Amino acid sequence: MVRDLSVSLCGISLQNPVIPASGTFGFGLELADSFDLNVLGAISLKGTTLEARYGNPTPRVAECTEGMINSVGLQNPGIDVLVGEKVPALRKVYSQPVIANISGFSLDEYRTCCMRADACEGIDIIEVNISCPNVHNGGMAFGTSCESASEVTRTVKAVCRKPVFIKLSPNVTDIAAIARACEDAGADGLTLVNTFLGMRIDIARRRPVIANKMGGFSGKAIFPIALRMVYQVAHACSIPVMGCGGVASARDVIEMMMAGATAVQVGAENIRNPFACPQIISELPGVMKELNIDKLTDIIGIA
Amino acid sequence: MKEAVLTILENLPIAPRTYRMKLSGDTSEIRCSGEFVQFAIDGKFLRRPISVHDVDWETLTVIYKVVGEGTAAMAAMLPGDKLKALTGLGNSFDIDACRSKALLLGGGVGAAPLYQLAKELCSQNKAVTVVLGFNNASEIMLVDEFEGLGATVYVATMDGSAGTKGFVTDVLRLKNIPYDYFYACGPMPMLKAVCAAVHCPGEVSLEERMGCGAGFCYCCSIQTVNGPRRVCKDGPVFKKEDLIW
């Protein structure tokens, strides 16, 4: 029998739930020569700000046991290049949904960026990053209190017609409370989790490995924590959740969905294996068969 | 970019903590000198980027220095063992930029990628001079290999135990080497000194801590006069005039 992998996010149909996470897949085109992007459920584009940003000094990456720390610092060409060049170029080779990921250092910046992303034809969903732990000035603060998270949500919802997903930081004491604050402020959905603030020290040099000292920890090692948070948030809220954090296999995708995720983002695994998403997608039907799952939507939140 | 499963044919030390690994398998994606591959090491999250030393239709040779746990694991591997590699990564040296006389400067294990380059330049009947710098005589490698291609080779050692005492730039100062274009690979201080000392156009191959190796994670970006560039995708080879020191 044909297994049904399709899911729906706020009325946007995805042929399968597997989405490369923002920051781990560039602007999509970088990988267009490596495999057919059209096998993906959707693509979440690299985080974009109002102005172009170079990001942090190098080294920006540190290896960890079953994971990595990155401190790229939101390098991006700015929202105008995103909507004017990157998305149109991607649209020439890719026809599945596109998620724009927006970051900001002020409510004004979030508002302006989201307005421009909303007006861009090639973008289907707007994901608002209120959680990037890399940038000193602002980004972190929005995601760490219910008040500021809800303020950002209200601000961007006021200017967007497209579905808005708020991407949550795991570096908080009660992620469900922040999730509820975003839902109450009008968010159409939630993406979680972003990276965990982490650090490594080069013991020979006696200095932090990362130039910016700390960065975002991601990879297989965070999967159980991310899964727990997705489970908590899915139970606390009624809007759809994109589960993210340490997903590296078709089984992980199923597990995230059973925890309550409607779609699943793959992040650090892309960086160690650029073919991770197409491999996971091709393995999904076999795992579904083994587990007697006919339709993926049947298992969302079933645990 | 292509993932290949390569089989180790040979993995032998050629200098202190430095190994030459020869592998067989699908090398079709490796097009020219200057490129690198990324090896997946069991138990290590990120792949290890290593420059291509020599390549033909069936074999790939790399030279690597043991600098951490990943390269130490590589050094312990035996002929017959398999290594997964992403191949066809990075840009390449511009062999056409040299009119007739090429100067190749390598520092330590940075000499490795210059070998495939020298082969390509020699096949175009260009005169190739190679200047290699090492800390001491025990580290010297690849001299016979470069000479075997018909290149003129000079060596510098920091402690003076072989060749000219000092840096590769000291060799340039003392010897009257003819060249119209240069290619360099080695530690950053050496590359900086070379770019300052050599008064002709040229290019350098850079090293940076990498994530994906294929240009989509932006972990290895550097600032250039043309804006930010990814060492793994826009490089590793950059024109001298594009770099900001």
Asked whether the beta carbons of residue B219 and residue A58 sit closer than 8 angstroms, the reply is yes
Contact B46, B211 (CB under 8 A): yes
A27, A56, A61, A222: best to mutate for the B interface, most B CBs within 10 A: A61
Longest dimension (CA), chain B: 50
Give the ranges where A120-240 is alpha helix by DSSP (H).
Answer: 139-143, 146-157, 175-184, 223-236
A46, amino acid identity = K
Q: Is B3 on the interface with A (CB under 8 A)?
A: yes
Give the gyration radius of chain B's Cα atoms.
17
CB-defined contacts A:B, below 8 A: 92
- Superfamily per CATH, domain A7-57+70-197+216-299: Aldolase class I (3.20.20.70)
Q: Show pLDDT as tens, one digit a residue, over chain B (245 residues).
A: 999 999 999 999 999 999 999 999 999 999 888 999 999 999 999 999 999 999 998 999 999 999 999 999 999 999 999 999 999 999 999 999 999 999 999 999 999 999 999 999 999 999 999 999 999 999 999 999 999 999 999 999 999 999 999 999 999 999 999 999 999 999 999 999 999 999 899 999 999 999 999 999 999 999 999 999 999 999 999 999 999 98
Q: Show pLDDT as tens, one digit a residue, over chain A (303 residues).
A: 789 999 999 999 999 999 999 999 999 999 999 999 999 999 999 999 999 999 999 999 999 999 999 999 999 999 999 999 999 999 999 999 999 999 998 899 999 999 999 999 999 999 999 975 445 445 457 899 999 999 999 999 999 999 999 999 999 999 999 999 999 999 999 999 999 999 999 999 999 999 999 999 999 999 999 999 999 999 999 999 999 999 999 999 999 999 999 999 999 999 999 999 999 999 999 999 999 999 999 999 999
Can you say whether residue B25 is alpha, beta or left, with left for phi > 0 and alpha for psi between -120 and 50 degrees?
A: left
B217, B234, B244: best to mutate for the A interface, most A CBs within 10 A: B217
Our answer to whether residue A132 is catalytic in this structure is yes
Asked whether the beta carbons of residue A66 and residue B45 sit closer than 8 angstroms, the reply is yes
Pairing of β B36-40 and β B48-51? antiparallel
Joined together, the tokens standing for residue A250 give 């078709």
Which residue from A64, A274, A275 is facing B45, i.e. has the nearest CB?
A: A64
Give the ranges where chain B is alpha helix by DSSP (H).
Answer: 69-75, 112-123, 143-148, 168-174, 188-197
Domain spans, chain A: 7-57+70-197+216-299
Count CB neighbours of A84 within 10 A. Answer: 14
Identify the DSSP state of B211.
Answer: S
Tracing tokens 């292509």 back to the chain, one arrives at B2
Pick from A93, A195, A79: which is nearest to B217 by CA?
A: A195
Q: Which pTM does this prediction carry?
A: 0.94
Count CB neighbours of A162 within 10 A. Answer: 18
Pick from B69, B17, B27: which is nearest to B52 by CA?
A: B27
B123, amino acid identity = S
Residue B177 to residue B61: CA distance in whole angstroms: 29
Measure A238 CA to nearest chain B CA, in Å: 33
Domains and their CATH numbers in chain B: 2-89 (2.40.30.10), 95-207 (3.40.50.80)
Which residue from A26, A54, A63 is facing B46, i.e. has the nearest CB?
A: A63
For the residues of A244-270, what is the DSSP string, one character each? ESS--SHHHHHHHHHHT-SEEEE-HHH
